[in-house]
Amino acid sequence: MEFRSGCSLRLSRRRWLALAATSALASCSTVGDMASVVASSTANAFTGPASPAYLRWKGLLVVAEPDANDNTAVALDIVFVRDAATLERLLALPAARWFASRAELLRSYPAGLAVRSYELAPGQSRRLTDKELDAPRVVAVLLFADYRAPGEHRLRLPPVRNGGLVSLEARDFSVTEYRL
């Protein structure tokens, strides 16, 4: 393609096809998820590893059982991790160390983390919507629960497209897919 100024714009065949496919898919809302995958894969082919992706979920229902944390309130941090290096560091931390060093970690990795903190008393429940969580682009979501009992009390959130149920139990917590 030639401009009047005499400059020429040439797109490689692969880039042109990728651009056309992405544009076509992005215009259809039914296949919006597929467009994201194609765009990410296309970017991957030209620039290296895929970048963090937006979460596509409906939120979480957090339920503290009546005997949660030996009848004591449970602090819960939902940590949105934006890069793989930060993720590896956090996966090595038990919850007790996360809560003890959270402020320092947030200062050390300001672009790598976003945290939403909650506290639930035994018997309490709370629905956290996707809008309330306002999830940024992430490589993973980690949950840290501050229990009195010894243990890791850390979990990498599995994909919960329709929503997830976080059960805060007597000595630990669990997450299952749950339709919200």
For 42-71, the pLDDT digits (tens) are 333 333 444 566 666 778 999 999 999 999
Q: What is the pLDDT of residue 54?
A: 63
How many other β-carbons are positioned within 10 Å of the β-carbon of residue 136? 13
3-state secondary structure of 8: strand
Query: Higher confidence at residue 39 or residue 131?
Result: 131
Please give the backbone phi and psi of residue 115, each rounded to the nearest 5 degrees, phi first: -125, 135
For the question of whether the overall pTM of this predicted structure is more than 0.75, the answer is no
Q: What is the pLDDT of residue 53?
A: 67
Domain ranges of the chain: 1-51, 59-177
For the domain with range 59-177, which CATH number is right: 1.10.645.10, 2.60.40.4150, 3.30.460.10, 3.40.50.920? 2.60.40.4150
Separation CA 77–CA 115 (nearest Å): 6
In one letter, which amino acid is 36? S
With 0-12 CB in 10 A as exposed, 13-18 as middle and 19+ as buried, what is 79?
buried
Tokens of 11: 């797109």
Kindly indicate the confidence band of residue 36, based on its pLDDT and cuts at 50, 70 and 90.
very low
Q: What is the pLDDT of residue 138?
A: 86
3-state secondary structure of 108: helix
Q: 59-64 and 164-168 as β-strands: parallel, antiparallel, unpaired? A: parallel
